[in-house]
Amino acid sequence: MEEKSWLFTIGGLTFDGTVVTMTILTCLVVFGLVYYCTRNLKLKPTGKQNVMEALVDFVRGIVGDNVEKNEIKQYHLLAFTFFMFVLVSNTLGLITKVTLFPSDVSLWKSPTADPTVTLTLAFIAIILANYYGIKKQGVKSYFVNSYMKPVGFLLPIKLIEEFTNVLTLGLRLYGNIFAGEVLLSLIAGLGASSPTKFILALPLEVIWQAFSLFIGGIQAFIFATLLMVYISHKVEIEEV
Amino acid sequence: MMNQLVIASSGQTTFSTILFVSVSFLVLLLALKKFAWGPLTTMLDERENKIAGDIDSAEQSKIDAANLAKQREVELKEARTEAQSIIAQAKDVAENNAHAIIVEAQEHATRMKKQAQEDLRLERERLLADAKKEVADLSVEIASKILKKELSASAHQELVQSSIDKLGVDDNE
């Protein structure tokens, strides 16, 4: 099972059109949702405002579990954006599949079903964690705290850990979402092969979509949590 | 195949994808911050403050109410004590008044009785004197009527004199 993307070139750079489109769509959906839900804010919340506040509070809980209380505000928006971006992009790919025959070009998928995207997100997360660490502690103290504790000779392992963090954070997300989509396409392919199998495949597809939706939510939650865990590791001074 | 599985469909789009995703994520972050985040967090903070304020003021009200109730109780107790003292005082005054009235009434009655006795005595004396005079006149008249026929003027004079003497004795009684 291999998915080909629609490619185009601008100024010598070749872009993956599917990922680009879906990323833009994800951003628009996230922004539209948040924008729509934060109009006419009232002290006594109603309807859509409740939904958005529940989401914000949920992310606030994730952030609050990992950093000190007075620092929550600093990371809240970042965690919220990551959470919403991952959640929406995970969910978008479940809606449908658009494939261009006969070249087998896939026009619709979750941006997070592409490893480059998830690794980029993970990379941003790790960079930010390091950035916040330096910002809060200063370069020297940050270096000592992050790489020389509890003992100095762990330095190489600690350095490698930074890269493995990027890989685990990114590939976990990619694996979950990509696998979900692959299975969805397989079931869809099965259903398309004959009328009898269509009836058989329909409930399977429904179940798997529900499960993928659930997985998408869980992965967004895990991504936001790990982001905050990494940040808190860098930000907080470990006492030995 | 391996290459294609890990790095999406082809290696040539890796850099552009990284760039594009990073930029779009950043734009999304800034857009959210500019258009939605401020009002939302302000509102959440405002509500938090309001709830905290409400709880505080409710607590204050409770304390105030308790103080007020205590004050009322004290005042009620005071008022009750005062009322009791007023009643006791009034009772005393009334008793004193009653006593005074009774004493006065008794005095008055005694005085009236004395006066009445005095009056009675005077009246009796006056009546007695009147009666004596009347009797004397009557007897003189009767005597003169009888004697006009049978006695001489000298006898008449004698009789009158003796009667008067007798009356004088009576008078001395």
Rounded Cα–Cα distance for residues B132 and B142 (Å): 15
Higher pLDDT, A112 or B150: A112
For A97, the 3-state DSSP assignment is coil
Find the DSSP H helices in A96-194.
115-137, 139-147, 155-193
Higher pLDDT, B1 or B114: B114
Question: Is the pTM higher than 0.80?
Answer: no
With respect to residue B80, please indicate whether it lies within any of the assigned structural domains.
Answer: yes
State how far residue B55 is from chain A, nearest Cα, in angstroms: 16
Phi, psi of B63 (to 5 degrees): -60, -45
> Nearest chain A Cα to B31, which residue?
A31
Given this model, what pLDDT does residue B93 score? 95
Residue A227 has pLDDT above 80, yes or no: yes
Task: Tally the domains of chain B.
Answer: 1
Rounded Cα–Cα distance for residues A202 and A211 (Å): 14
For the ranges A101-110, A206-215, B24-33, B35-44, the lowest mean pLDDT is seen at A101-110
Is the Cβ pair A34, B7 closer than 8 Å? Answer: no
With respect to residue B154, please indicate whether it lies within any of the assigned structural domains.
Answer: no
Calculate the average pLDDT of chain B.
84
> Which of A8, A16, A99 is most worth mutating to test chain B (most B CB atoms within 10 A of its CB)?
A16
State how far residue B83 is from chain A, nearest Cα, in angstroms: 53
Given this model, what pLDDT does residue B5 score? 41
Rounded Cα–Cα distance for residues B106 and A148 (Å): 118
Average pLDDT over residues B148-167: 72
Given this model, what pLDDT does residue B8 score? 43
Segment A145-167, tens digit of pLDDT: 777 777 778 888 888 888 999 99
Percent of chain A with pLDDT over 70: 94
Residues of B in contact with A111 (CB under 8 A): 21
State how far residue A67 is from chain B, nearest Cα, in angstroms: 18
- The distance of Cα B136 from the centroid of its chain, to the nearest Å, equals 74
Residue A76 CA neighbour count, 13 Å, CB half: 21
State how far residue A72 is from chain B, nearest Cα, in angstroms: 12
Average pLDDT over residues A187-213: 87
Segment B45-94, tens digit of pLDDT: 888 899 999 999 999 999 999 999 999 999 999 999 999 999 999 999 99
Residue window 45-104, chain B: list those with CB within 8 Å of chain A. Answer: 46-47, 50
Kindly report whether the peptide bond that precedes residue A115 is cis, defined as omega within 30 degrees of 0. Answer: no
Number of A–B residue contacts, CB under 8 Å: 118
Given this model, what pLDDT does residue A3 score? 58
A148, amino acid identity: M
Q: How confident is the model at residue A1 (pLDDT cuts 50, 70, 90)?
A: very low
Given this model, what pLDDT does residue A101 score? 64
- ipTM value for the complex: 0.83
For chain B, state the CA radius of gyration: 65
* Cβ atoms of residues A35 and B37 within 8 Å: no
Segment B105-131, tens digit of pLDDT: 999 999 999 999 999 999 999 999 998
Q: Does B23 touch chain A (CB under 8 A)?
A: no
Q: How confident is the model at residue B7 (pLDDT cuts 50, 70, 90)?
A: very low
With respect to residue B88, please indicate whether it lies within any of the assigned structural domains.
Answer: yes
Given this model, what pLDDT does residue B61 score? 95
Is the Cβ pair A15, B8 closer than 8 Å? Answer: no
Segment A116-139, tens digit of pLDDT: 889 999 999 999 988 998 888 888
A112, amino acid identity: T
Percent of chain B with pLDDT over 70: 85
Q: Which of B8, B12, B33 sits opposite A77 (nearest CB)?
A: B33
A215, amino acid identity: I
Given this model, what pLDDT does residue A150 score? 72
A72, amino acid identity: I
Residue A42 has pLDDT above 90, yes or no: no
Beta strand A105-106 with A99-100 is: antiparallel
Q: Does A75 touch chain B (CB under 8 A)?
A: no
Can you give the residue ranges of every domain in chain A?
1-41, 69-98+112-239
Is the Cβ pair A77, B39 closer than 8 Å? Answer: no
With respect to residue B39, please indicate whether it lies within any of the assigned structural domains.
Answer: yes
With respect to residue B74, please indicate whether it lies within any of the assigned structural domains.
Answer: yes
- Those residues whose C-beta lies under 8 Å from the C-beta of residue A76, and which sit 6 or more positions away, are A56, A59, A60, A63, B41
For A3, the 3-state DSSP assignment is coil
With respect to residue B56, please indicate whether it lies within any of the assigned structural domains.
Answer: yes
Given this model, what pLDDT does residue A124 score? 92
Higher pLDDT, B169 or B142: B142
Range of the domain at B73: 28-115
Q: How confident is the model at residue B9 (pLDDT cuts 50, 70, 90)?
A: very low
Higher pLDDT, A6 or A200: A200
Q: Does A79 touch chain B (CB under 8 A)?
A: no
Given this model, what pLDDT does residue A2 score? 52
- Per DSSP, chain A holds a count of helices (H) and strands (E) of 7, 5
Is the Cβ pair B16, A14 closer than 8 Å? Answer: yes
Q: Which of A16, A37, A73 sits opposite B17 (nearest CB)?
A: A16
Beta strand A105-106 with A4-5 is: parallel
Residue A141 has pLDDT above 90, yes or no: no
Residues of A in contact with B35 (CB under 8 A): 31, 34-35, 38
Average pLDDT over residues A47-66: 89
Q: Does A99 touch chain B (CB under 8 A)?
A: no
For the ranges A14-28, A68-82, B159-173, the lowest mean pLDDT is seen at B159-173
Given this model, what pLDDT does residue B1 score? 35
Is the Cβ pair B17, A80 closer than 8 Å? Answer: no
Average pLDDT over residues B137-142: 84
Q: Which of B12, B19, B40 sits opposite A41 (nearest CB)?
A: B40
Given this model, what pLDDT does residue B2 score? 38
Residue A153 CA neighbour count, 13 Å, CB half: 0
Given this model, what pLDDT does residue A102 score? 57
Given this model, what pLDDT does residue B96 score? 94
Calculate the average pLDDT of chain A.
85
Given this model, what pLDDT does residue A157 score? 86
